[in-house]
Amino acid sequence: MAKARSAFPDWGQARSTGANSSQVTDGAAAALLMRRSTAEKLGLADKIIAKHVATSVVGVEPKHMGIGPAYAIPKVLERTGLKTSDIDLFEINEAFASMYVYCVDKLGLDIEKVNVNGGAIALGHPLGATGIRQVATGLAELRRRNGKILCTSMCIGSGMGAAAIFVNETAQKVAAKL
């Protein structure tokens, strides 16, 4: 891997290579979101698996594309009154390992709670399906662990970043303040 050439030679000593970047991945995804009252009217209340609590979107300089999660996650935590220690799992989707490492380091996240089944490099980075892939992967793992709170985050390109908070409704004890 050390001999792989830089994917961005114009960046000087850039370390992003084909060996530590996500592959080109095709994918499609869909999710059904509705108000709880609508689910109840439709007889679907027993099918509710999670609650979307909040989303935040931020921007950084486009030349710093990929680090948006490092700024979006604090925003969504602020909106919800949560701290990183309140989060059971993080799904941070980044196409390049260096950007993922930057975000984890900047936020001081517990690596045992981040992308526990792999992120974009391991699972793929299908444009247009990444967000719901993160939600599906994260909620499935929360259920497996009987965890409560999931934070998903990704760069959106051109310097944008987004983060969202979801509460696992199948957990035995769901955070009361959410």
Q: Domain with 18 in it: what CATH number? A: 3.40.47.10
Domain holding 128, by residue range, is: 9-168
Tokens, residue 1: 């891997």
Contact at 8 Å (CB) between 66 and 96?
Answer: yes
- Angle at alpha carbon of residue 96, lines to 72 and 110, rounded to 5°: 55
* Total count of domains within the chain: 1
pLDDT in tens, 39-86: 999 999 999 999 999 999 999 998 888 899 999 999 999 999 999 999
Indicate whether 173 belongs to any domain.
no
Helix axes 97-107, 69-80, angle to 10 degrees: 40
Indicate whether 70 belongs to any domain.
yes
Indicate whether 86 belongs to any domain.
yes
Per-residue pLDDT at 6 exceeds 80: no
Q: Residue 172's pLDDT is what?
A: 62
User: What beta strand segments (E) does the chain contain?
Assistant: 50-59, 89-93, 149-157, 160-168
| Across 39-43, 59-63, 152-156, 174-178, least confident range | 174-178
**Cα distances (angstroms) measured from residue 120 to each of 48, 52, 96, 145:** 27, 22, 8, 22
Per-residue pLDDT at 10 exceeds 90: no
